[in-house]
Amino acid sequence: MRYLLRLKCWQYRQLNRITRAPRPSRPEKARRLGYRAKQGYVIYRTRVRRGGRKRPVPKGCTYGKPKTHGVNSLKPARNLQAVAEERVGRRCGGLRVLNSYWVGQDATYKFYEVILVDPMHKAIRRNPEAQWICKAVHKHRELRGLTSAGRRSRGLGKGHGYSRTIGGSKKACWKRRNTLSLRRKR
């Protein structure tokens, strides 16, 4: 299995960074995430460079307090899968990103396949199970953290471990707790 993955990664490395796949390389995973082998569904394969996010400062000079002096051991807020979805979504502006899944990785890259849907296709617009994605509110879901990979970095969930995002988001929670509300009639 590891040998096959190595061959697959070699093949993916020879292709362009974003390339259309004729069919999903993991059909069972793709179907679980919403893909159907019918008109209107498209698969794109992409690769993202692995590793953390170095702080873009000149000569490593960050200035300020020691807390902000880090340059190398920093990590981006969003995961690489969400970055892959974003890049494919920007390339295919007329399609909607439904979901994505891992297909391989090597020392340099992680490879993902992204499921896209054509919101103007009649097979999608007439299908009661898929026509929700045709609404205008779902334009560029991947840029707003609405896909399952994008939601992971938003701190959403239930229980005492997720009390920082009660009310929709970290910003909404902070704003509600730091706003003094004085009712007019009291």
pLDDT digit string, tens, across residues 20-73? 999 999 999 999 999 999 999 999 999 999 999 999 999 999 999 999 999 999
Question: What are the residues facing 100 on neighbouring strands?
Answer: 114
Element (H, E) at 83: helix 80-91
| End-to-end Cα spacing for the chain | 70
- Burial code (b: 16+ CB inside 10 Å, e: under 16) for 111-131 equals bbbbbbbbbebeebeeeeebe
- Joined together, the tokens standing for residue 33 give 């995430």
The residue count of the chain comes to 186
DSSP 144-168: GT-SHHHHGGGT--SSGGGGGGTTS
Task: Tell me the backbone φ, ψ of residue 83, rounded to 5 degrees.
Answer: -65, -40
Q: Please give the Cα distance from 7 to 13 (Å, whole number).
A: 10
3 state DSSP class of 132? helix
Res 183 pLDDT > 90: no
pLDDT band at 78 (very low <50, low <70, confident <90, very high): very high
According to the model, what pLDDT value does residue 186 have? 63
Predicted confidence (pLDDT) per residue in 104-148, tens digit: 999 999 999 999 999 999 999 999 999 999 999 999 999 999 999
Question: Whole-model pTM?
Answer: 0.91
DSSP symbol at 131:
G
Question: Residue 19 CA to chain centroid, in angstroms?
Answer: 17
